Amino acid sequence: MRNAYHVEHVRAAEAALMARLPEGTLMQRAAAGLAATCARLLGGVYGRRVVLLVGSGDNGGDALYAGARLARRGARVDAILLNPERAHAGGLAALRAAGGRMTGDPAVIDAADLVVDGITGIGGQGGLRPGAAELAARAAGAQALVVAVDVPSGVDASTGVVEGPAVRADVTVTFGTYKPGLLVDPGASHAGVVELVDIGLGPYLPAEPTVAALQAGDVARLLPELSAETDKYRRGVVGVVAGSDRFPGAAVLTVGGALYGAAGYVRLAAPRRVIDLVLQRWPETVCSEARPGEAGRVQAWVVGPGMGTDEVARDRLAEVLASDVPVLVDADGLTLLGKYFGGRADRSAPTVLTPHAGECARLLGAERADVEARRLEHTRQLAERTGATVLLKGSTTLVADPAGAVRVNPTGTPWLGTAGTGDVLSGLIGSLLAAGLPALDAASVGAYLHGLAGRLAADDAPIAAHDVIDHLPAAWRSVGNDHGPVRDARPCL
C-alpha cells in the first residue's frame, strides 16, 4: 500500500523525530536523497549545469544542501534566491563553500541541464507569486529536467488543489511519506514521477493514512481465489439491471465486466431487445424480462447503465435499493437517485456509487469545474452525505467510504475516456461485491484492474470499451493472485 498523509500529520511526525536527532539531521537526510536522485537523472554530475530555485522555507534549504553536494562532485550550480534575506543560512553557506554561485539572472535556466524547484514547501498555499511564476514558466520552456523538492511549488500538498501558477515537474522527490497532493489530480499531473526518500518518519505517522493507493500485491491479497470446491454460486451471483431500447449496448458491456470479474453467475433483468443483444455476445448470461425482485437470487446488484430515467426505470431502482444485498448504482441510476431519492440510498447493506465529475456535481449541487479542481474534498463529501462508498471517476479515480477512508487508483490511461468503459467498470465492481469483498475493497480493486486492463489494451490504441473487457483476464494474471483458498461469497438471497 502506498500511503499518503496530510501535512499536519507530516509536520507532527517530523517534530517527533527531530526531537530525537541532532539538529539538522533530517534536512541532511533529505538533501542526500535529493542529490542522489538528481545525480542519477543527470547520468553523470561533472560539468553539468544545475539551477536551484530557492525559496525561504526548509525546501529551499534542502535544495541548497543538495546543490552543495552536486557542486562538490563537479557540477556548476547556480542558485536563484527569491528572498535572499530569508534564505536558509546553513544551506547557503554550504553551497558557497562548495563553489556554488548566487545569481539574479534567470537566463541561467535556459542553459541548465536540471532545475531544482525549492520555491515553496508542503505548507505552501495558493498559486505562485508573480516572480516565482515567471521562473517556473521559464523552467517549463527550457530543455532542462525539472525536479521538485517534496511537492511541486503551487500544489497543495494535502489535497492536490492547484489554485494558480504552479511548477510542472518531471520528477518529484518527496521525503518521509507520500503526500495526497502528489497522488490526486490536478496536483498529481504537476508532480511527474514521484520518488520517495525514507528519512525515518514511518514510526511517527498515524496508523490510518489520509489517502492510500493499492499496489499489485495488495490487489492480489484482496482478490477472491478458486479452490477445488469452487462452483458458480460460491464465486458469486451478480444481478444486472441495465440497458433499454435506446441504449441496449450498456447492458452488453456491464454484463461483460461482470463475467470477467469474480462472479460465477450473472443474471440480467432487462427488456427483450436488450436480452437478445446480450445473449448474442454473452450466451452464458441468465436473462429475465421480469422485475429485479423476480429475476432470481443474487448476492449483489448493479443498476443504472443505459436503463433510462423514466418511471419504469425509477421503479426498478427502488426495488433494487430495497433489497438487502450490496448494490452498485451508476449512470442513469445516479440521475434517478438524485431526482427521486434525494441523492441518498438509505440502505443497511453496502452501497457503491460510481459518478463522474458531472454526476457528482449534480448530486452535491456543486459546479463540475469545482469538483474537478477539488476532487478529494468532493468525493469525501458525497460519501458522507449519501452514506455510500463513492468512486469518483476521472483523471485520478478516487474511492471514499462514509467512515472517511480514501483510496486513489494508481492505474489507468487517458484512452479509457471513451463511451462504455464506465459500464464495464460497474459490472466488474458488482461482481467483486457478489464475491464477498467489502465495498471499499471491491471499488478500489475493480478500479485497479479496470485501469490496468485499459493500459494493456492501449498497447493497440485507440481502444473501445470491449477492448477493456478482452484484457481483464491479463490484468488479473498480472497481479499474480496465487495465494490461499477462495473466500466465501455472501449467502445467495
Tens-place pLDDT, residues 59-110: 999 999 999 999 999 999 999 999 999 999 999 999 999 999 999 999 999 9
Residues 122-146: what's their mean pLDDT? 95
Query: How does strand 389-392 pair with strand 398-400?
Result: antiparallel
Residue 181 is assigned to a ligand binding site: no
Radius of gyration of the chain (CA): 26
Given a cut of 50, is residue 493 above it in pLDDT? no
Going by the DSSP 8-state scheme, the letter that residue 247 receives in this structure is -
Given a cut of 60, is residue 4 above it in pLDDT? yes
Sign of the torsion angle spanned by Cα atoms 15, 18, 23, 28 = negative
Quote the CA–CA distance of 47 and 76 in Å, as a whole number. Answer: 6
Query: What single string gives the DSSP state of each residue in 262-310?
Result: T-SEEEEE--HHHHHHHHHH-TT-EEESS-GGGS---SEEEE-TT--SS
Residue 55 is assigned to a ligand binding site: no
Using pLDDT thresholds of 50, 70 and 90, give the confidence band for residue 228.
low
Contacts of 478 (CB under 8 A, 6+ apart): 216, 452, 456
Quote the CA–CA distance of 18 and 30 in Å, as a whole number. Answer: 13
Quote the CA–CA distance of 110 and 271 in Å, as a whole number. Answer: 64
Residue 192 is assigned to a ligand binding site: no
Residue 218 is assigned to a ligand binding site: no
CA distances from residue 91 to 11, 21, 34, 47, 135 in whole angstroms, order as listed: 21, 19, 14, 22, 21
Residue 393 is assigned to a ligand binding site: yes
Given a cut of 90, is residue 448 above it in pLDDT? yes
Mean pLDDT, all residues of the chain? 94
CB environment 31-49: b (16+ within 10 A), e (fewer): bbbbbbbbbebbeebeebb
The burial of 454, by beta-carbon neighbours within 10 Å (0-12 exposed, 13-18 middle, 19 or more buried), is given as buried
Using pLDDT thresholds of 50, 70 and 90, give the confidence band for residue 487.
very low
Query: What whole-number percentage of the chain has pLDDT above 70?
Result: 96
Which domains does the chain carry?
A: 2-213 (3.40.50.10260), 216-478 (3.40.1190.20)
Given a cut of 70, is residue 233 above it in pLDDT? no
**What is the 3-state secondary structure of 375-411?**
HHHHHHHHHHHHCCEEEECCCCCEEECCCCCEEECCC
C-alpha cell at 306: 443505459
Residue 58 is assigned to a ligand binding site: yes
Going by the DSSP 8-state scheme, the letter that residue 3 receives in this structure is E
Residue 131 is assigned to a ligand binding site: no
Going by the DSSP 8-state scheme, the letter that residue 178 receives in this structure is B
Write down the pTM of the prediction.
Answer: 0.94
Residues 1-25: what's their mean pLDDT? 97
Residue 122 is assigned to a ligand binding site: yes
* pLDDT score at 107: 97
Residue 276 is assigned to a ligand binding site: no
Residue 189 is assigned to a ligand binding site: no
Beta-carbon neighbour count of residue 227 at 10 Å?
Answer: 9
Residue 250 is assigned to a ligand binding site: yes
Residue 124 is assigned to a ligand binding site: yes
Residue 310 is assigned to a ligand binding site: no
Given a cut of 50, is residue 344 above it in pLDDT? yes
What is the rounded end-to-end Cα distance, in angstroms, of the chain? 34
* pLDDT score at 492: 41
Residue 423 is assigned to a ligand binding site: yes
For the stretch 28-46, pLDDT in tens is: 999 999 999 999 999 999 9
For the stretch 239-280, pLDDT in tens is: 999 999 999 999 999 999 999 998 889 999 999 999 999 999
Residue 397 is assigned to a ligand binding site: yes
Using pLDDT thresholds of 50, 70 and 90, give the confidence band for residue 190.
very high
Given a cut of 80, is residue 289 above it in pLDDT? yes
CA distances from residue 15 to 19, 24, 26, 125, 430 in whole angstroms, order as listed: 6, 12, 10, 21, 44
Residue 62 is assigned to a ligand binding site: yes
* pLDDT score at 252: 98
For the stretch 418-437, pLDDT in tens is: 999 999 999 999 999 999 99
- Specify whether the CB–CB gap between 380 and 421 falls below 8 A: no
Residue 59 is assigned to a ligand binding site: yes
Q: How many CA atoms lie within 13 A of 371 on its CB side?
A: 26
Using pLDDT thresholds of 50, 70 and 90, give the confidence band for residue 225.
confident
Residue 154 is assigned to a ligand binding site: no
Kind and range of the H or E run holding 234: helix 232-235
- Specify whether the CB–CB gap between 383 and 389 falls below 8 A: yes
* pLDDT score at 235: 79
Residue 61 is assigned to a ligand binding site: yes
Residues 367-386: what's their mean pLDDT? 97
* pLDDT score at 483: 35
Kind and range of the H or E run holding 372: helix 368-373
C-alpha cell at 55: 525559496
Residue 356 is assigned to a ligand binding site: yes
Given a cut of 90, is residue 305 above it in pLDDT? yes
Given a cut of 90, is residue 160 above it in pLDDT? yes
CA distances from residue 117 to 77, 166, 177, 191, 351 in whole angstroms, order as listed: 13, 11, 19, 11, 43
Using pLDDT thresholds of 50, 70 and 90, give the confidence band for residue 486.
very low
- Specify whether the CB–CB gap between 59 and 66 falls below 8 A: no
| Residue matched to cell numbers 534564505 | 87
Contacts of 31 (CB under 8 A, 6+ apart): 61, 62, 65, 66, 68, 69, 91
Going by the DSSP 8-state scheme, the letter that residue 81 receives in this structure is E
Using pLDDT thresholds of 50, 70 and 90, give the confidence band for residue 485.
very low
